[in-house]
Structure formats: structure tokens, C-alpha cells
Chain A
Amino acid sequence: MADTDEHQIWVQQSRNGDHAAFAALIREYQPMIHSLTFRMTGSSADCQDLAQETFIRAYRQIDSYNGTSKFSSWLYRIAVNACLDWQRSESRRARLHTEWSEASAAGQNSAGAGNDLDDLSREVQSALMKLPEKQRAAIVLTVYGEHNHAETAKILGCSETTVSWRIFSARRKLKKLLSKKGDSHE
């Protein structure tokens, strides 16, 4: 998402404690952040919690945004970190994998993870959830966020080479996972 002058003004006003300006930023960026947090968690409920967490962290850290990068990239970075923190909770991750496995086996969805989704959407999300979290973040940012490798590297705080390697590995796994399942649906 391209930053406009208006966005920069809202950022400045938010720095001064203007909640209305920050609400305008939330309205502008919430679809982008919800999309990311859903792709990272596969759960509607957790996606909403993490989106909220992202904007709260953003407000508290807004003085650290120095304007050298796009506000959207800065916000993405906070969201990715929030998701990675969430993923690090071993018990939640184990529970989530179990839920997704059960849902995939039953051809249903669970944990409020998009009950209105079609089969393809569920398959794709199930495959994404089987990736290691950093590979998933790299794929989500490049495919759904449409960031290039350099931008993704900045958001993830790693080198472009690392991003390229993670994307290569993730694609290889996704092709295997989705080729098998894709055949059964066609």
C-alpha cells in the first residue's frame, strides 16, 4: 500500500497523541494487517487478536517510525513480529496443527478458521500452516503483500539471500502439498 501525504500527517498527529488520526490510520491499514495475520495464523479469532495487538504496538512505538521506510512496511514488520511471537507459543502451535489436521481430514474447518471458505482456500491455508513460520512469513509478504525480496528482507530484518532461500524452500513444499491435493479437487 502506497503511503500518501495524508498518511504521513496522520502519523505525525498520532505521535502527538491524536487518537482520531490514529483511528484513520487503523481504518486505512486494517484490511492489509488482517490479511497478513490470517495467513500467518489460519485462525479468524487469532487473526483479529493479532491485528489488534499490532495496532496497539504500533501506537506505542510510533516515535520509532522515522519515515525512512513506508509506513505500511513498518506496520507489516510489527505485525510479522507479533505473529512470530504468537507462533513461538509451543502449545498454541501444537493445538493449531492438530486442529488443521483434523479439519483437513474431515474436509471441514475448525477454530473459526474461515468457515465460509471454499475447499481451495482451506487447502491453501492448510498448506501454508505446514510451512515453518519464517518461510510462511516470506511467502505471505511476497505473494499476498506483493513485496519484492528487498522489501521483504527489510520487513523481516534479514538479508535478501535469506529471503530468497526461504521462498525457494517454501515454494518447493507448497508445490508438493498443493499438487497432491489439487489433483483430488480437479
Chain B
Amino acid sequence: MNNSELDAKLKAAREPALPADYAEAFPQTVLNQLRSSPWKPVRARRFWLPRLVWGAATTACLLIAFALGHWRGQVERDSGQDVLANVKLIQETLAMFPNRVRAIVEDGHGLKLVLADQPDVPASMPIYIRICDGKHCSSLVTFSGQEIQIAGQKLTVLSDANGGIILEGNQFVWSSREPVHAGRSLKIEAKNL
């Protein structure tokens, strides 16, 4: 038996005829089922919203994982160097989270990425700050106008029109133009990247 003969045999097989009254009543039977069911037609967009949220969340997780992995790799490669002074690395990270990076902090526990909930961090020149309190040193990259916690101090970072940097803490004000006025025993270094 070849394919044509098989097809001819298959097509020659009849199906049971549907009773005429069944066929006629069938659409109404289906509609009655639909009416008796509380189900409403589901709009496609309703399916898209949770998928979109999950997609965004997954993307964010992947980006963060990538960023952390990227940073760890860089830290290992740049051992002995100040990672936060690497302008290219900073720019790559900022590009990954546009207008969301409040600070990149490096302390005794490694690197931390501080992200804003909303992309509302104004684009401006990154500022590098290093603070040592005699026992520990912390470094960070942040932007003018950000309030950050470093070396046990809550600081507001400001930059002036001439590129000068001002750090305003609870108990002191420090300026890159007059670094001798640094408070207490803190050793502060700050520069525009």
C-alpha cells in the first residue's frame, strides 16, 4: 500500500452523522454553558501585566547579578588598586542603572551598590570620596546632592560651580578647597572623576 492508497482509504472512512436536532441546537448549548458559567472573557492585556512585572523583575535580578559578578571580577583583577578610581568601570555601572545609582561604596566588607527606588538621581559628574577614621577606610563614588552614610558619618555631598567638593556632616563641614578644616581625626580625600 502506498501513501496515496492509504490516504484514499482513510478518507473513505465516514464519520457518524450528527443528529440534525443536535447540530441545530449545538450553538445554543454552548452559549447556555457560557451563560451559566461565571467566567468573563479575559482580556489579553491582563495576562501581559503580570508577565511584564515578572519580566522586569527577572531583568533587574540578572542585571544586579551581572553587576556584582562584574565587580567581583574587576576587584580580583585590580587587586592592590583602588577599584573606585577606575572611571571606565564606574561608567559601565552607571550605564547599567541610568539615573538610579546613588552611590558605589567600598568598605571592609567589599563593594555595595546603593540604588534609588526611582530613576531620579540627576546625571552629573561622579565624585570620588575616601574617608579614613584612623582604623578603617571607606571609599565611595557618588553625586552632588546625595546624602550618604560612610565611616559612621551621615554626609551630604555637594559640589560647587568651580568643581570644588563640600562634605557636610552632623559635626563638621569639609571642603576640597580648604581641606585643613576637616573635622576631628578624619582624613578625607575627594575629587571629581
Chain A interface (Cβ within 8 Å of chain B)? 15, 17, 19, 22-24, 26-27, 30-31, 34-35, 38-39, 44, 48, 51-52, 55-56, 59-64, 66, 113-118, 120-121, 123-125, 128, 139, 143-144, 171, 174-175, 178-179, 182
Contact = CB atoms under 8 A, between A and B. Distances in A.
Contacts of B11: 143-144
A142 to B, nearest CB: 9
B89 interface: no
Contact of A139 (B10, B30, B39, B42): B10
Contact of B29 (A27, A52, A62, A178): A52
Interface in B3-24: 3, 6-7, 9-18, 22-23
A62 B34 CA distance: 13
B118 interface: no
A123 B15 CA distance: 12
B27 interface: yes
Nearest to B22: A48
A171 B3 contact: yes
B1 A116 contact: no
B23 A125 contact: no
Contacts of B26: 26, 30, 51-52
Contacts of B49: none
A26 B30 contact: yes
A40 to B, nearest CB: 12
A92 to B, nearest CB: 19
Which of B7, B13, B37 has its CB near the most chain A CB atoms (within 10 A)? B13
Contacts of A56: 30, 33-34, 37
Interface of B: 1, 3, 6-7, 9-18, 22-23, 26-31, 33-35, 37, 39, 41-44, 47
Given A44-B16, A174-B10, A19 B42 contact: no
16 contacts: A27-B27, A30-B27, A38-B16, A44-B16, A51-B26, A52-B29, A52-B30, A56-B34, A60-B42, A63-B44, A64-B47, A116-B17, A123-B13, A124-B13, A175-B1, A182-B9
A175 B3 CA distance: 8
Given A55-B30, A125-B13, 5 more contacts: A26-B27, A56-B37, A60-B41, A63-B44, A182-B9
Contacts of A38: 15-16
Nearest to A56: B33
Contact of B7 (A31, A39, A143): A143
